[in-house]
């Protein structure tokens, strides 16, 4: 049975997709290096931007069917499992612009039936035995899509950018998570990962210190690693059409090493 981890928060521009594809890819790389070829990794994109596909050099609109079609009951989940790296056996269940209309379309189809909040769980349960890990990228909104994700996953990894609006944002998101535990009592928080960090600025260092105090009081873990501000994360997609952790030239990049470290911690935790 797959370990299901979502990268989620209600704030955009915090590297959710970059964290998703880089950590998921690193997990796949480390499993292969350990000789665990039978432990496959899947990435599920639920964001209408479709950036998980773009991260591997694919055009989101080129996929015949996506997660939207599965959730709308118009395609089988097996039909949207695309192998995006054969050597790693890394798979993607993609999204595209259709997902931006999902909330409106699903309400039009089913009304306020509470089943619309568990569609992802109901549709993906039949493929869970194919994967050791399923990582999910999410849109930055407290909407039906995110509620589906929170009702499905085992744990959350929350990217956090240390800026002035972020503390209020994470408070709102943690409140949503607390409420969602009524329908998914097993939901837990893997940890908070600081992203886009600039250690040379007092503002960032002060903000992170406030974050530590805030989360410590709530007994929520913060990863020791911080993803620094770097052009390499975006450059890898533009120049190499793959996540930075796969680019040999970036092997010593601080952000890449941090992604590998977080991935290793996830593997170590769930391989016990």
**CATH number of 67's domain:** 3.40.50.300
Query: Cα–Cα distance between 25 and 233 in angstroms, integer?
Result: 13
pLDDT given for residue 195 in this prediction: 96
Number of structural domains (the chain) is: 1
pLDDT given for residue 38 in this prediction: 85
pLDDT given for residue 272 in this prediction: 64
Query: Cα–Cα distance between 22 and 130 in angstroms, integer?
Result: 21
pLDDT given for residue 271 in this prediction: 85
pLDDT given for residue 148 in this prediction: 97
Tokens, residue 100:
């931006």
Phi (first) and psi of residue 121, to 5 degrees: -60, -45
Query: Cα–Cα distance between 226 and 232 in angstroms, integer?
Result: 15
Listed in sequence order, the residues at least 6 apart from 202 whose beta carbon sits closer than 8 Å to its beta carbon are none
Asked whether 266 and 5 are in contact (CB, 8 A), the reply is yes
Query: Cα–Cα distance between 70 and 176 in angstroms, integer?
Result: 25
CA angle, 183 as apex, 182 and 187 as ends, to 5°? 80
pLDDT given for residue 165 in this prediction: 86
Phi (first) and psi of residue 135, to 5 degrees: -105, 135
Q: Which parts of 86-221 are beta strand (E)? A: 90-93, 133-137, 155-160, 188-197
Which stretches of the chain score pLDDT less than 70?
Answer: 272
pLDDT given for residue 228 in this prediction: 94
Tokens, residue 194:
């600081």
Q: Which residue has the tokens 């120049």?
A: 239
Tell me the pLDDT tens digit for each residue of 17-70.
999 999 999 999 999 999 987 899 999 999 999 999 999 999 999 999 999 999
pLDDT given for residue 141 in this prediction: 84
Closest CA to 246 of 254, 238, 237: 237
Range of the structural domain that residue 75 is part of: 3-270
């Amino acid at each position: 049975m797959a370990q299901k981890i979502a990268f989620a928060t209600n704030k955009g521009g915090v590297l959710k997709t970059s964290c998703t594809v880089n950590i998921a890819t690193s997990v796949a790389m480390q499993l292969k290096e350990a000789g665990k070829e039978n432990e496959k990794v899947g990435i599920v994109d639920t964001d209408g931007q479709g950036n998980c596909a773009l991260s591997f050099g694919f055009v989101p609109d080129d996929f015949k069917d996506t997660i939207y079609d599965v959730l709308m009951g118009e395609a089988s989940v097996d039909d949207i499992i695309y192998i995006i790296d054969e050597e790693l056996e890394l798979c993607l269940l993609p999204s595209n612009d259709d997902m931006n209309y999902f909330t409106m379309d699903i309400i039009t189809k089913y009304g306020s039936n509470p089943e619309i909040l568990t569609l992802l769980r109901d549709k993906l349960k039949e493929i869970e035995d194919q994967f050791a890990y399923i990582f999910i990228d999410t849109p930055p909104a407290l909407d039906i899509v995110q509620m589906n994700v929170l009702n499905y996953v085992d744990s959350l990894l929350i990217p956090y950018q240390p800026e002035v609006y972020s503390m209020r944002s994470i408070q709102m998101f943690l409140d949503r998570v607390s409420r969602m535990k009524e329908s998914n009592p097993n939901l837990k928080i893997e940890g908070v990962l600081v992203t886009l960090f600039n250690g040379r600025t007092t503002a960032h260092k002060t903000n992170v210190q406030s974050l530590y105090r805030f989360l410590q009081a709530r007994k929520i873990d913060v990863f020791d690693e911080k993803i620094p501000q770097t052009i390499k994360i975006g450059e890898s997609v533009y120049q190499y059409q793959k996540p930075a952790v796969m680019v040999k030239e970036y092997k010593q990049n601080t952000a890449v090493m941090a992604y590998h470290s977080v991935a290793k911690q996830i593997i170590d935790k769930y391989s016990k």
